[in-house]
A and B are shown apart, each in its own frame.
Chain A
């Protein structure tokens, strides 16, 4: 402590956040090391879970911060998946490099999509994104170059051994989580994060404080499209097969809504909790098919009606132990 009359300090990390950060890094390293300690089945699960987390966090960024509710994110999953298959299969690009190149597709699609749909009021914007996704799906199933409705198979993956593939996949997943979760965290702690939080709480007031709401929404929409597309490309590369009805499946939208709403909207912690709940529920109850989906639907409905903060919101009531704190705490000490 200095002897100045006022000592001020901005605290951004908490004990819980240090523990969480250490855990996250440990988990990330464990993920990268998976090919050397885990079974192929478990690696497959890890890839799937990483994709769920990434897609859900991108939706969270849109709906939880930018106020853009989308039910058509599957458009971006499909187009980047398809571009990956075309690049790798028809142009002979190394598939692991092609994953990164395929991110151009969602970025390019997101620009006209946003510019057209921003003209629609809140709830109509959501259904507009769905129309775009459906239009892209129908267009894809009419293009013979990508095998129309029958879809594509990623045969070039046979040139790699199982072990090589697994190393490639875990590295891609680690990069995916770093960019989507790590990137969101970095963004939310930056100056833009302040603007985003202000916008989430009240867009009109944020605009009056100098936040360019329209431009920020535009950037977030594109960033979310690219992040979602990244996850989609990895997912379908692991599946080795893509069809229009799978790649552009509206279920991707339902899944991200479920994960974010159950976990807790507007918080990275919520996405992680929600993704874990969804992943476990899917493993345990997925076999019940439509009965399981009725419960998922009713749960989403109940959360929208009675507990909008989701599980993380309920946990917050017991005490503030943020894993990813984005707040700035000002400490002012008067020294005698």
Chain B
């Protein structure tokens, strides 16, 4: 029963990681860029949410309505002023640029919010739970998981069926050929980043509701998102979702064995997948 509980908690934790991972999978899929400041942007949005919660009278879920547009704007700025200048075959410029941004952002948050851990004020949703058999399940983690499912399904549908999705897949396959057929890569990139960071806005509110956040947490979130994407299989949105589940379960099981082993177990599963099935659990659909 203890292990079943670990698996369930792991899947619920995976819901959180899936929200971090979706944006990363999307941005890498279309631009071959990994934004090293991915986790730091999420933490920034969380801290903005915590600060706004004290001022705005909307309640916690109402915050999402405010944070997601802020996230989209941040994504647009990121794309316009940084990522557009470093998109290219050479991975070095984009890595270094976002790495520098990550250091600057982390320390900027440290200056502004200090190193304290913060979270959104406790609400009914955050503390509510229900019982299945002898296992307690928190209501908020279930909402997070369902949101992740809806986001993954929605993103997958957008990529498959919408005009934007076709353009994105074309630009990802061959930027120049796509440009010749009337797709504007810059526009596609901008929308992709806006969606990616917008999803992070949602994740940021959930993260601050679920647990605490502090300015230096960003790197860990980046690593979890990355591990989920690789475990699941590069280039597939559902792969990122599944990878997040595997990562969450691995960490939850490790945590039950020894409290010091949780995160290490996640890393080990990642390395094991890389050793045995480098294309990921869900191989890329061609």
Contacts and interface: CB of A to CB of B under 8 A. Distances in A.
Interface of A: 63, 67, 69, 71, 116-117, 119-128, 130-132, 134-135, 138-139, 141-142, 250, 254, 257, 261, 265, 289-291, 293-294, 296-305, 308
Contact of B107 (A71, A117, A291): A291
A138 B95 contact: no
Interface string B56-95: 0000000000000000000000000010011000111111
Given A116-B274, A121-B32, A299 B100 contact: yes
Interface in B97-111: 97, 99-108, 110-111
Contacts of B264: 135, 138-139, 142
Given A122-B91, A304-B94, 5 more contacts: A123-B28, A134-B263, A141-B260, A293-B106, A300-B99
A122 B85 CA distance: 18
28 contacts: A116-B275, A120-B274, A120-B278, A121-B91, A122-B32, A123-B28, A123-B32, A126-B91, A127-B226, A128-B226, A132-B271, A135-B268, A135-B271, A138-B260, A142-B264, A257-B96, A294-B108, A294-B111, A296-B103, A297-B100, A297-B101, A298-B100, A301-B82, A301-B97, A301-B104, A303-B96, A304-B86, A304-B93
A293 B107 CA distance: 6
A111 to B, nearest CB: 13
B124 interface: no
Q: Name the residue in A67, A117, A141, A294 with the highest tally of chain B Cβ atoms < 10 Å from its Cβ.
A: A294
Contacts of B91: 69, 121-123, 125-126
Contacts of A301: 82, 96-97, 100-101, 104
A13 to B, nearest CB: 30
B28 A305 contact: no
Given A131-B270, A134-B223, A123 B104 contact: no
Contacts of A257: 96, 99-100
Contacts of B116: none
Contacts of A130: 219, 223
Contact of A124 (B28, B90, B97, B111): B28
A305 B85 contact: yes
Contacts of A128: 226, 230, 274
- Per CB-CB distance, the 10 closest pairs between chain A and chain B, nearest first, are A297-B104, A300-B100, A122-B91, A297-B103, A301-B100, A123-B34, A304-B97, A290-B107, A135-B267, A119-B278
Interface string B258-273: 1011011001101100
Contact of A305 (B86, B223, B275): B86
Contact of A119 (B86, B93, B222, B274): B274
Contacts of A294: 103-104, 107-108, 111
A253 B138 CA distance: 39
Nearest to A300: B100
B21 interface: no
A297 B270 contact: no
A2 to B, nearest CB: 46
Nearest to B112: A290
B267 A261 contact: no
A297 B105 CA distance: 8
B42 to A, nearest CB: 15
A294 B36 CA distance: 16
Contacts of B104: 293-294, 296-298, 301
A131 B267 contact: yes
Nearest to A142: B260
Nearest to A302: B100
B156 to A, nearest CB: 21
B26 interface: no
Contacts of A293: 103-104, 106-107
Contact of A304 (B28, B100, B226): B100
Nearest to B101: A301
A68 B77 CA distance: 29
Contacts of A122: 32, 90-91, 95
Contact of B96 (A117, A127, A250, A300): A300
A132 to B, nearest CB: 7
A294 B106 CA distance: 8
B48 to A, nearest CB: 18
